[in-house]
Amino acid sequence: MNHSIVDQKHWDKRYEEQILDIVNINNPIRQLIIKYIPPGNGKCFEIGAYPCRYLSIFGTLGYELNGIDTTHKIESSELKTWMENNNWKIGFLEKINFIDFNTEKKFDIVCSFGFIEHFKNWKEIILKHTEILKKDGYIIIETPNFAGIFQRVFHILVDYDNYKRHIIKSMNPKKWADLLGNNYEIIFEGYVGKASFWHENQKINIFQRIVIKCFSIICRIVKKFSYSRLYSPYCCLIAKKTA
């Protein structure tokens, strides 16, 4: 059963003018992937893949790119052409709900970025990731860190509609690691990125402008420190399947 708390119309509207591009080389999630995932010629599978900003990282590492999403754009010729022009290996790109997705294939990498936190049954979603992962394969899960006090307060005050589209209690990489159990080597589990914030396109009132200004000042101070559960913008887990 699909327990997503976000209507598909929201995603369809968001993707109307989406530009296809790989995440910047300075993106902390991309840097984390490059640090811990070795180049290879195996198969990578992303859940909730479109617009493939993160999936394409694995293309640069030599992996075959596979992915599913609930938007029709995942099957578009535009997406395929973009990947072909970058000389990335393409497997399948399919429009289907992950809960309904079944395959006998096993993948060397199974990943999702900003996906599980939109589901009430996020634990079930994580376990379904593991069902299609090869032994010695890597599972990678990332979500925003709205559970951290810095991000939580900001999004409640400035970006509340977006905040409500997320299951805040799911944003806990320690819980993800515990859910995987003893058959996984935890390579990275924690929080990524120095203090920063963002909000969806919307009208901003005077109070919210003041909040944004205050948080900008805080960011300039806190960025001097290392990553933290309190203010880092991302949660991430990388684990290797050992049995």
Quickly state the pLDDT bin for 2 (edges 50, 70, 90): low
Residue 34: C-alpha distances to residues 40, 117, 198, 240, 242 (Å) = 12, 24, 24, 15, 21
Strand partners, 113: 142
Task: Give the model's pLDDT for residue 111.
Answer: 98
* Nearest-angstrom CA–CA distance, 26 and 20: 17
Supply the pLDDT for residue 175.
Answer: 97
Strand order, beta sheet including 133-144: 90-95, 64-69, 43-47, 107-113, 133-144, 234-241, 184-192
Average pLDDT, the chain: 93
Confidence check: pLDDT of 1 > 60: no
Element (H, E) at 77: helix 77-85
Q: Any idea which architecture 8-146+167-194+234-241 has in CATH?
A: 3-Layer(aba) Sandwich (3.40)
- Render pLDDT for 172-205 as a digit per residue (tens, 0 to 9): 999 999 999 999 999 999 999 988 777 787 788 8
For 108-162, the pLDDT digits (tens) are 999 999 999 999 999 999 999 999 999 999 999 999 999 998 889 988 999 898 9
Contact between 65 and 90 (Cβ < 8 Å): yes
Domain boundaries, the chain: 8-146+167-194+234-241
Tokens 């901003």 correspond to what residue? 204
